[in-house]
Structure 1
Amino acid sequence: MRLPKTAVLYALGLAGFAGLVVFARSGNEFAVAIRSAAGFNEARRQSPAPSSFAARVLVVGMPGEGNPAPDLTDTILVAQLTHTPPAAPTLQLVSIPRDLAVTGADGVLERINSIYAQAKTREQPSAAVTALKQAVERVIRLPIAYTALVDLTALREVVGALDGINVEIPETITDPDFPTANGGTETFTIESGWRYLDAETAEKYVRTRHGGRGDFDRVRRQQYVLEAIHKKILGLNPLADLHTMLELTRILRRRVLTDLAIEDIHRLLEESRGLVSANVHVLDLASDPAGLVVGDRLGEAQVVRPRAGWTDYSEIQKRVGDFFQTP
């Protein structure tokens, strides 16, 4: 089902976009927005009684229309939100290498980022997402409660609807080989410091693969942008900014596929209140010092596989299990 999210769903920034999900369900948009705004504020007043909370979500990003391979899921994150009041909430993200070799539904080894695209040629998108979730669960040997598939075109559209975002860039980036839509390349540069990012710049900032730590750096950049979006969305006024919220709703309907129900998103929103950068932790399996994966070839394709063997994920499973148990 498509819900109003906002690119925050992307990395469990899900928390911030969460409040907007209320706007994407059914019925007249204006009426739904008014009703949802009331519910959103009521949820703020009636937070759940203090208790331990944990939720695990598979957050997947794909390039979307206008790209040579629109359905390849080049961003695969397992996000776990944990909250035990009165302590502050914690968000943990495990980045799955897009080139990780896994066994598909047909029993053949393939890159994990092609699972969704391959399944989508045979099944509905929701079933294809399930196929990817099952593949990830086999890798980490942990159950995943929810999924959120985000067409990354949403990021550009959401930032545009918000009239840009402010992001602190930790280091200057110069990528001389940033890919263009027509198959060429261009130079993308952004200076360190606080920067106002318009829609186009925000998209380039999260997509560039320039950096000494590969996907780890890219995941961090995505985190910075999603935090900025999260903050700006939480600052919206349900009535004064109704037009913006409705536009976000339309974007999310088009660009996000998730099995999260409205009540689930409300709960995620409430449990994530008070989340700060210091409590966001990232485990990138591709660059982890433990060296859990190694490069190899699968036919003509370059892939990474478990160090222990092509389908032996035991070391990965232990590392991920320990990571989630120790916020």
Structure 2
Amino acid sequence: MTKPKTRSKARTVLPIWLSAMLASTFVVSGITVVLLAFLTLQEAFAHPLNPLEGNAVAQAAEDVAEVSLPPLDQESDIEPPTLEPGLPTPTPIPTTIPIPDSDRITVLLVGVDRRPGDPFISRTDTMMLFTVDPDTNSAAILSIPRDLYVVIPGRGRDRINTAYVYGAAGNNPAGGAALAMQTVEYNLGIHVNYYLAVDFSAVENGVDALGGIDVNVPVTINDPLYPDHNYGYDPLYIEAGPNHFDGELALKYARTRHQDSDFHRASRQQQVVLAVRDKILALGFGEMLTRAPLLWAQFSDGVRTDMSLEQMTNLAILANEVPAENLHTAVLGPGYVSNYTTEQGAQVLILDNYAAADLIQELFYGTGQ
């Protein structure tokens, strides 16, 4: 079984303002730091980035997902799909693990496959869970493959990347986030506190405003089928070794998958997360303060979240207290999933809940040591 990766970089103690700006480097491929940089301008401190009327996410969850989860000691009445001979058998549907008294915060990051001019409603191209536990001084990032075949509450079985668009029906991004969060909880047994959704422009503009990022590419990338913004192709070639990426190339590196697999792409996305974090640390507080207005202007339109800036600041402070050796990354890849063909002929992935249980326990309910 693949163990989660641990970063081995010396711990850095940062001023509280820079700590605040670092929160979303973990939460949104490193780019959301600009939201907290905006705190230095003393505006909109205690309001959500995209204000929602009342508790809109909770209400949307009630509206779009009305499945009653069975108690832990009971079998779910939801039947797994009928499989052809020789295909893997899905494991029983899990329920959320009981959460002990804890200050742990878990955020669902979704990257929305949204082209210029499209509404903020689409399948999620990226799904990551970021968790930080102040009690154990640990944090983790878990990437979820978009082709994972799951039960979407109130909808039945489908790929996990469709949950957001189902819930967002009627131009309701908050409903999309609510259903995506419920779907993750229902199938992985991980409680999710908040969501943060970003589109392509947020990633590109955020990296550009930082002056680019440095990434060590392990294997040469040659993807002649990389999609452009007009549903055509924009061939991609990146040589192995040290590379400096602007926003466009960082996004392409994080999205390409035709050469290898969705699992490799998830690892590249985590690389981008950590590269942006490293760039912000290298720039330092003074330079980030100088760039804050540009970062905000370039980035804010491509983000949706139910966290207020104050909540993100608190998250940043918690994240900054985590030493690098307690920051773990993992992907639900080989060893945790099996290939499966649906009755309609779609190629999807089935989660082996028993195999994934130890990983989830370690990252989200363990000691972090």
TM over 0.5: yes
Alpha-carbon distance in structure 1 between the residues aligned to 2:34 and 2:295? 11
2:23–2:319 Cα contact (<8 Å) kept: no
Query: Does the alignment pair 1:304 with 2:349?
Result: yes
Q: The residue matched to 1:93 in structure 2 has which SS?
A: strand
Please, which of 141, 145, 152 is the counterpart of residue 200 of structure 2? Answer: 152
Query: Does the alignment pair 1:288 with 2:312?
Result: no
Q: The residue matched to 2:122 in structure 1 has which SS?
A: coil
Match in the other structure for 1:182? 230
Match in the other structure for 1:115? 163
Alpha-carbon distance in structure 2 between the residues aligned to 1:109 and 1:131? 13
Match in the other structure for 2:27? 12
Match in the other structure for 1:129? 177
Match in the other structure for 2:129? 78
Cα 1:152/1:274, change in 2 over 3 Å: farther
Alpha-carbon distance in structure 2 between the residues aligned to 1:169 and 1:159? 17
1:15–1:268 Cα contact (<8 Å) kept: no
Alpha-carbon distance in structure 2 between the residues aligned to 1:15 and 1:163? 14
**Once the 2 structures are TM-superposed, how far is the Cα of residue 117 of structure 1 from its aligned partner?**
1.0
1:238–1:245 Cα contact (<8 Å) kept: no
2:28–2:109 Cα contact (<8 Å) kept: no
Alpha-carbon distance in structure 1 between the residues aligned to 2:117 and 2:227? 10
Alpha-carbon distance in structure 1 between the residues aligned to 2:254 and 2:29? 17
Q: The residue matched to 1:32 in structure 2 has which SS?
A: coil
- Identity rate, percent: 28
Matched letter for residue 274 of structure 2: E
Cα 1:107/1:159, change in 2 over 3 Å: closer
Cα 1:8/1:171, change in 2 over 3 Å: farther
Alpha-carbon distance in structure 1 between the residues aligned to 2:138 and 2:241? 26
Query: Does the alignment pair 1:203 with 2:251?
Result: yes
Matched letter for residue 162 of structure 1: L
Q: The residue matched to 2:192 in structure 1 has which SS?
A: coil
User: What is the TM-score of this pair, normalised by structure 2?
Assistant: 0.67
Match in the other structure for 2:313? 266
- The total of aligned residue pairs comes to 292
Please, which of 297, 301, 326 is the counterpart of residue 254 of structure 1? Answer: 301
Structure 1 segments of 4 or more deviating over 6 A? Answer: 5-8, 67-70
Alpha-carbon distance in structure 2 between the residues aligned to 1:6 and 1:295? 42
2:164–2:177 Cα contact (<8 Å) kept: yes
Match in the other structure for 2:36? 21
Query: Does the alignment pair 1:57 with 2:107?
Result: yes
Matched letter for residue 43 of structure 2: V
Match in the other structure for 2:218? 170
1:154–1:252 Cα contact (<8 Å) kept: yes
Match in the other structure for 2:43? 32
Alpha-carbon distance in structure 1 between the residues aligned to 2:255 and 2:227? 9
Q: The residue matched to 1:177 in structure 2 has which SS?
A: coil
**Once the 2 structures are TM-superposed, how far is the Cα of residue 13 of structure 1 from its aligned partner?**
5.4
Alpha-carbon distance in structure 2 between the residues aligned to 1:107 and 1:188? 36
Match in the other structure for 2:276? 229
Alpha-carbon distance in structure 2 between the residues aligned to 1:7 and 1:112? 28
2:226–2:256 Cα contact (<8 Å) kept: yes
Cα 1:182/1:323, change in 2 over 3 Å: same
Q: Deviation string for 1:99-154 (max 9, x for gaps)? A: 22223343422221111112212362112201110011001112111111111321
Alpha-carbon distance in structure 1 between the residues aligned to 2:325 and 2:239? 23
Alpha-carbon distance in structure 1 between the residues aligned to 2:239 and 2:134? 35
Cα 1:235/1:246, change in 2 over 3 Å: farther
User: What is the TM-score of this pair, normalised by structure 1?
Assistant: 0.75
Q: Deviation string for 1:152-180 (max 9, x for gaps)? A: 32110111112222222233222232222
Alpha-carbon distance in structure 1 between the residues aligned to 2:26 and 2:201? 15
Match in the other structure for 1:104? 152
Alpha-carbon distance in structure 2 between the residues aligned to 1:75 and 1:318? 23
Matched letter for residue 284 of structure 1: V
Cα 1:263/1:7, change in 2 over 3 Å: closer
**Once the 2 structures are TM-superposed, how far is the Cα of residue 314 of structure 1 from its aligned partner?**
5.6
Alpha-carbon distance in structure 2 between the residues aligned to 1:323 and 1:241? 31
Matched letter for residue 116 of structure 1: Y
Alpha-carbon distance in structure 2 between the residues aligned to 1:294 and 1:259? 34
Q: Which runs of 5+ in 1 are unaligned?
A: 37-51, 308-312
Matched letter for residue 339 of structure 2: V
Alpha-carbon distance in structure 1 between the residues aligned to 2:334 and 2:285? 42
Alpha-carbon distance in structure 1 between the residues aligned to 2:299 and 2:22? 8
1:18–1:265 Cα contact (<8 Å) kept: no
1:6–1:248 Cα contact (<8 Å) kept: no
1:295–1:305 Cα contact (<8 Å) kept: yes
